[in-house]
Amino acid sequence: MILAGDIGGTKTLLALFDVDGQCISRQQFNSLDFDRFENLLKLFLARDEDVFLQSVCLGVAGPIIEGDCNATNLPWCLRRQDIADLTGASKVYLLNDLEAAAWGVLALPEQELVELNPDAKKKTGNVAVLAAGTGLGEAVICWNGKEYHVMPTEGGHADFAPLDELEIELLRFLREKYDGHVSYERLVSGMGVRNIYQFLKAIDYLPVNPETERLIKMQDAGAVISTMAQQGKDRLCLKAMQMFCNIYGAEAGNMALKTLAYGGVVLTGGIAAKNLTLLRQGGFMQRFLDKGRYRTMMQNISVKVCMNPHAALLGAAEYAARLNG
């Protein structure tokens, strides 16, 4: 049996898979309800005390250093030996969450991916994977001519580059908030949606909707802003989401250039799937294509949205199964 996990700053998914890759049981937890990952893991294992675990593979939002991880958006330190002691598994693997998502993308059927670029040409080659969620994750699926190899990155923390006057003002606004350094993650993520909305509100770009402000006090701000924009109930929220899509498109294009992603770009994570209509409105692809002399090359690159919310979980199970096999 394989224990697979997708550990994020907002939620953690754990699941048991059999040797054939079938999910036996799955449970979601609120990550911030636990001060240590081991406490969450004990709660999950208590449901199936008699299960023999051959291996554990966890995708974690954070850099993997010498096999272990200090989570980026959680106060958790994950150590392979601690997890092995707790589960009894002989093999424990920690992957960057986007590394896990990339393995999941490789295993997904085509019908779970939605194309954004109508001019795309299907080609074999490197694939860039980006996921906007609590943070911004990025990974590369490298093609060596015979097989794929997944390479994790921390590219979401690279410097944000504004592309118009309003974004220049946005950069200045966030430099004050974050004491200088502003990464793409500060804009292309749940916190990014909130940051863009707060900026537009601060400069009085459009009137503030009192209903939006009321909901933000009670619910996740990024989700509220997204919902109000999609429902056409708040012009300020709509502008915020349009800016979010533009910046996401620009960074997806950056990744495509840096990795020569002839095999395509795939957007995973909850935000892309939930905002597919907004992504299709044109701003995302306009920015993706707007790469000067390389526009023609970009026009041929596939850009797909992953509609399966469990890609990273499936990828963790896939990775463990490959090594076990």
pLDDT tens, 166-199?
A: 999 999 999 999 999 999 999 999 999 999 999 9
pLDDT tens, 15-41?
A: 999 877 788 999 999 999 999 999 999
**CA gap 101, 319 in Å, rounded:** 10
Residue 236 has pLDDT above 70, yes or no: yes
Mean pLDDT of the chain: 94
DSSP of 206-244, one letter per residue?
SPPPHHHHHHHHHS-HHHHHHHHHHTT--HHHHHHHHHH
> What dihedral do alpha carbons 25, 28, 33, 37 form, nearest 10°?
50
**CA gap 83, 36 in Å, rounded:** 12
Residue 52 has pLDDT above 90, yes or no: no
The pLDDT assigned to 85 comes to 93
Residue 136 has pLDDT above 70, yes or no: yes
pLDDT tens, 245-294?
A: 999 999 999 999 999 999 999 999 889 999 999 999 999 999 999 999 99
Q: What percent of the chain has pLDDT over 70?
A: 100
Cβ contact 9:71 at 8 Å = yes
Summarize the confidence of residues 104-118 as an average pLDDT.
94
Query: What domains can you pick out in the chain, each with its CATH number?
Result: 2-102+310-324 (3.30.420.40), 111-307 (3.40.367.20)
pLDDT category at 312 given cuts 50, 70, 90 is very high
Q: Residue 77: beta bridge partners?
A: 70
Q: Which residue has the higher pLDDT, 114 or 321?
A: 114
Summarize the confidence of residues 201-214 as an average pLDDT.
97
Q: Which residue has the higher pLDDT, 152 or 290?
A: 290
Q: Could you identify the residue written with the tokens 């969620």?
A: 133
Of the chain, the end-to-end C-alpha distance in Å amounts to 13
The pLDDT assigned to 78 comes to 94
Structural tokens at position 33: 């309800």
Residue 50 has pLDDT above 80, yes or no: no
